[in-house]
Amino acid sequence: FQTFEGDLKWHHRDITYWIQNYSEDLPRDVIDDAFARAFAVWSAVTPLTFTRVYGPEADILIQFGVREHGDGYPFDGKNGLLAHAFPPGPGIQGDAHFDDEELWTLGKGVVVPTHFGNADGAPCHFPFTFEGRSYSACTTDGRSDDTPWCSTTADYDTDRRFGFCPSEKLYTQDGNGDGKPCVFPFTFEGRSYSTCTTDGRSDGYRWCSTTANYDQDKLFGFCPTRVDSAVTGGNSAGEPCVFPFIFLGKQYSTCTREGRGDGHLWCATTSNFDRDKKWGFCPDQGYSLFLVAAHEFGHALGLDHSSVPEALMYPMYSFTEGPPLHEDDVKGIQHLYGPRPEPQPQPPTAQPTAPPTVCATGPPTTRPSERPTAGPTGPPAAGPTGPPTAGPSEAPTVPVDPAEDICKVNIFDAIAEIRNYLHFFKEGKYWRFSKGKGRRVQGPFLITDTWPALPRKLDSAFEDQLTKKTFFFSGRQVWVYTGTSVVGPRRLDKLGLGPEVTQVTGALPQGGGKVLLFSRQRFWSFDVKTQTVDPRSAGSVEQTYPGVPLNTHDIFQYQEKAYFCQDRFYWRVNSRNEVNQVDEVGYVTFDILQCP
Amino acid sequence: APRPHKPTVVVFPGELRTNLTDKELAEEYLFRYGYTHVAELSNDKQSLSRGLRLLQRRLALPETGELDKTTLEAMRAPRCGVPDLGK
């Protein structure tokens, strides 16, 4: 292994990272997960911990860029140079940059999330067979409404599992069109458009009008990228191939290697390359963002390139599905930071009191058509037939090691008041806190000990006082626990939240079975009984809660007050006399948890 | 038997590094990843061979000092942009 000259390394263990922007090649939650797993590769063999923050004060800044992207080390278009990173230190040191002219995948081809259909949002499976024909991209075949779809298994003819592919016919992203789909044709500067366009923009993003007349209504949205058929690199990235196209006088109706010496498949994005010279590379397996990130984070922690071809720190990319770390990598990183401390054995401690449980042998409580299904993130939910869980089992109330000390956590995944305890969730664990008991904190407990179906990373949670149902949100999925009985994961669509809502960042119960659900700067009124939001109730945080930051990542209610969290801080809002007013700002750990 | 047609190589607009000769590719690669310094860039075979030998040793390739097929393939492989040698 090699380290940088002078053994450059971090001199603290709790490393922070900030994902500054995103590639359009992968869904954002897949990118977040890939980076989190890439850091976990290193935290598994060192005392280091990695915490995500949302600002430039982070130790490691992660950025996607093309060509010259601001550091004097330009990227080189598709293939060749994939990414680079700087050794530990202040400023740009420790940062990792990824070439956005590459096609970022998980190493096995494009990842296309689906919407609606019957596959619960599972990604497309390419290739898939439909009526005996093989497809390696979304298709409108078999549909009269021209909406692109795909199979989520290898064989649609036998499995019948399908979903719709991202398409401007289904929705748009951002802009001010409220996520509505494009309206074609639409009029822009007097001209009629029947497809998305980059006209009028200098950043190259494809957009459309969400009404028939943009000149008049000024309502627009950005068109989802069709990664399954869009080209990368070349001079028209993001555009779809046009078949057939003319190249050197010959007609091509599939991607071709003709004219290239490097063997990469390409296509034209207009019908005549000889005339228009518009082209790009066709989708291929792409590069695994997880593996490349794990390599670059090795640099960001102080490792230089290795000469061992099987090592993660060898400079050349090669795809593997096995554990990425080689012995050489482990020796190198432990030379800098030492091994991961083993947890110390602890004496048994008193059993915490158990929450009320529902008899586990009752019938399934979900309607047949709502039977919990395997979501893209996990196995079928255990449901009521799982073993009864009488609260956290065996977890000590004394932290096992410093990394589990709640006072060391900067930012929590979610905070919610459940059964009069304030619960703090973080990376698969949670703590319980109650002011009433002399500000004692209990935990950490394993989330899965109490709520087996839940994923490791939560976005928010709330308990409905009337029905005692507890709702948990993660990405675009929701779980509803009533005692130990669970319904979910279900998609947010079932609650009436459209695909543009990528996560639920918080909830404020309003009484009477109504709860405000928040997603970044917007919120909706949710009816706990019907379990749907009222689409007309959409509101803006900025207007309704003046004074709180706009990029809060967790919102919860505690003892009748609303808390808006951003980074390590909270803004407390008092709603006396129908006026929302910030009446306190403080640290979550110092002012709520009273950490020393 | 039909004769394989000679592949036509086209300059694609917007693409960097098109149609470099093997030697040009090697010189650019050795310089970018720290194996040669500007001062050493010259036409004599020695400097190129020295740089190639350094690279072959560093990347655990057969040490020939020659711009052979294995070395060229390595230079065309997708990789990390951090230089292999130097600061």
Q: Is the pLDDT of residue A89 over 80?
A: yes
What integer pLDDT is reported at residue A547 of this predicted model?
Answer: 81
Residue found by looking up tokens 């959409």 in the block: A538
Please tell me the least confidently modeled range out of A396-410, A446-460, A477-491, A536-550: A396-410
**How far, in Å, CA of A302 to CA of A32, rounded?**
23
Q: Which two tokens stand for residue A407?
A: 């006072």
What integer pLDDT is reported at residue B86 of this predicted model?
Answer: 76
What integer pLDDT is reported at residue A543 of this predicted model?
Answer: 83
Contacts of A234 in chain B (CB under 8 A): 12, 14-15
Helix, strand, coil percentages for chain B (3-state, nearest 5): 40, 0, 55
Q: Is the pLDDT of residue A86 over 70?
A: yes
What integer pLDDT is reported at residue A269 of this predicted model?
Answer: 92
**How far, in Å, CA of A148 to CA of A195, rounded?**
15
A296 is catalytic: yes
Q: Which burial class, exposed, middle or buried, applies to A158 when counting CB atoms under 10 A from its CB (0-12, 13-18, 19+)?
A: exposed
Please tell me the least confidently modeled range out of A22-36, A41-55, B1-15: B1-15
What integer pLDDT is reported at residue A292 of this predicted model?
Answer: 98
Q: For residue A21, how far is the Cα from the chain centroid?
A: 12
ipTM over 0.85: yes
Structure-model confidence comparison of residues A9 and B2, the more confident one: A9
The number of C-alpha atoms within 13 Å of A177 and in the hemisphere containing its C-beta is 27
Contacts of B8 in chain A (CB under 8 A): 248, 258-259
Measured CA to CA in angstroms, residue A197 lies from A284, A516, B46 at distances of 25, 36, 54
A458: left (phi over 0), alpha (psi -120 to 50) or beta: beta
Question: Mutation test of the interface with chain A: which of B80, B84, B85, B87, choosing the one with the most A Cβ atoms within 10 A?
Answer: B80
Q: Which two tokens stand for residue A40?
A: 């976990």
Structure-model confidence comparison of residues A432 and A381, the more confident one: A432
Contacts of B78 in chain A (CB under 8 A): 79-82, 102, 287, 316-317
Q: Mean pLDDT over residues A493-519, rounded?
A: 89
**How far, in Å, CA of B2 to CA of A556, rounded?**
74
Residue found by looking up tokens 């990542």 in the block: A553
Percent of the residues in chain A that have a pLDDT greater than 90, as a whole number: 43
What integer pLDDT is reported at residue A375 of this predicted model?
Answer: 31
Residue in A296, A417, A463, A500 annotated catalytic: A296
| DSSP for A76-87, written as a single string | -SSSSEEEEE--
**What's the pLDDT tens digit per position in A96-109?**
999 999 999 999 99
What integer pLDDT is reported at residue B1 of this predicted model?
Answer: 56
Cis before B4 (ω within 30): no
Task: Judge whether A242 and A270 are in contact, CB under 8 Å.
Answer: yes
**What's the pLDDT tens digit per position in A273-309?**
999 999 999 988 999 999 999 999 999 999 999 999 9
Q: Mean pLDDT over residues A125-137, rounded?
A: 91
Q: Is the pLDDT of residue A493 over 90?
A: no
Q: Mean pLDDT over residues A381-402, rounded?
A: 36
What integer pLDDT is reported at residue B54 of this predicted model?
Answer: 92
Most confident of A99-108, A368-377, B9-18: A99-108
Percent of the residues in chain A that have a pLDDT greater than 70, as a whole number: 88
Helix (H) or strand (E) holding A291: helix A289-301
What integer pLDDT is reported at residue A548 of this predicted model?
Answer: 85
**How far, in Å, CA of A508 to CA of A416, rounded?**
10
Q: Is the pLDDT of residue A85 over 90?
A: yes
The number of C-alpha atoms within 13 Å of A278 and in the hemisphere containing its C-beta is 16
The alpha carbon of residue B36 is apart from the nearest alpha carbon of chain A, in Å, by 17
Question: Mutation test of the interface with chain A: which of B53, B79, B85, B87, choosing the one with the most A Cβ atoms within 10 A?
Answer: B79
Q: Is the pLDDT of residue A424 over 80?
A: yes
Q: Which burial class, exposed, middle or buried, applies to A79 when counting CB atoms under 10 A from its CB (0-12, 13-18, 19+)?
A: buried
Q: Which two tokens stand for residue A59?
A: 């130790």
**Does B22 reach chain A within 8 Å, measured CB to CB?**
no
Name A145's bridge partners. Answer: none
**What's the pLDDT tens digit per position in A425-456?**
998 899 888 765 555 788 788 888 888 889 88
Alpha helices in A44-186 (DSSP H): 156-159
Q: For residue B77, how far is the Cα from the chain centroid?
A: 10
Measured between CA atoms, the residue of chain A closest to residue B58 is A307
Structure-model confidence comparison of residues A347 and A265, the more confident one: A265
Task: Kindly calculate the radius of gyration of chain B based on its CA atoms and give it in whole angstroms.
Answer: 15
Q: Mean pLDDT over residues B66-80, rounded?
A: 94
Q: Is the pLDDT of residue B28 over 50?
A: yes
The closest of A224, A189, A197, A241 to A28, measured between CA atoms, is A224
Q: Is the pLDDT of residue A182 over 50?
A: yes
What integer pLDDT is reported at residue A403 of this predicted model?
Answer: 55
**Does A234 reach chain B within 8 Å, measured CB to CB?**
yes
Per-residue confidence at B9, pLDDT binned at 50, 70, 90? Answer: low
Measured CA to CA in angstroms, residue A315 lies from A15, A299, A502, B58, B77 at distances of 24, 11, 35, 10, 10
**What's the pLDDT tens digit per position in A353-363?**
343 333 333 33
**What's the pLDDT tens digit per position in A2-37?**
999 888 999 999 999 999 999 989 988 899 999 999
**What's the pLDDT tens digit per position in A213-272?**
999 999 999 888 888 888 988 888 888 899 899 999 999 988 998 988 788 899 999 999
The secondary structure of residue B19, as a DSSP letter, is S
Name A581's bridge partners. Answer: A574
What integer pLDDT is reported at residue A77 of this predicted model?
Answer: 87
